[in-house]
Structure 1
């Protein structure tokens, strides 16, 4: 199965892409949710098997990506345990 991991931040979607294992695993940087939805549609059209999202997407962002894919592939998003809330706030607040 092929899968992709989308990360959201200060990225240029056209340039910030990588693939390993002959393209079976891909990572794509996106600047915002609209770019993520476009990338997800592109991935679905190319036959990707699964999409994982970084934690910046949250549940609502994941739902938008699922809608963008027409619910054709599994989409997950990264979460963390509540005991690390403070650490995550500190790490991603800047």
Structure 2
């Protein structure tokens, strides 16, 4: 089974604010973290559980996504969400 995770950064209750879906041979898990240190720990746990891909919310940025890729030895594909530049104002309004 392939395992994919989406990581969201925010003021969450990380033990309860999570979701998991299985469809055919794909397991998708949404995980939450409160800071980059939790992101590091969570990424390593996901790797140990056999996850092959981790997508991070845009709040992490390219540098942190690359740092996690290095820290996991390149054994898991790691990406991050980005938006078109014309959405920056709307995103800033929304996330405040």
The question of a shared fold, defined as TM-score above 0.5 by the shorter chain, is answered with yes
RMSD: 1.5
* More helix per residue: 1
Shift of 1:90: 1.0
Paired residues, number = 93
Q: Which runs of 4+ in 1 moved over 4 A?
A: none
* More strand per residue: 2
Q: Which of the numbers 73, 76, 96 marks the counterpart of 1:73? A: 76
Asked if structure 2 preserves the Cα contact closer than 8 Å seen for 1:7 and 1:27, the reply is yes
TM-score normalized by the length of structure 2: 0.88
Shift of 1:20: 0.7
Q: Unpaired segments of 5 or more residues in structure 1?
A: none
Q: Unpaired segments of 5 or more residues in structure 2?
A: none
The answer on 1:39 being equivalent to 2:42 is yes
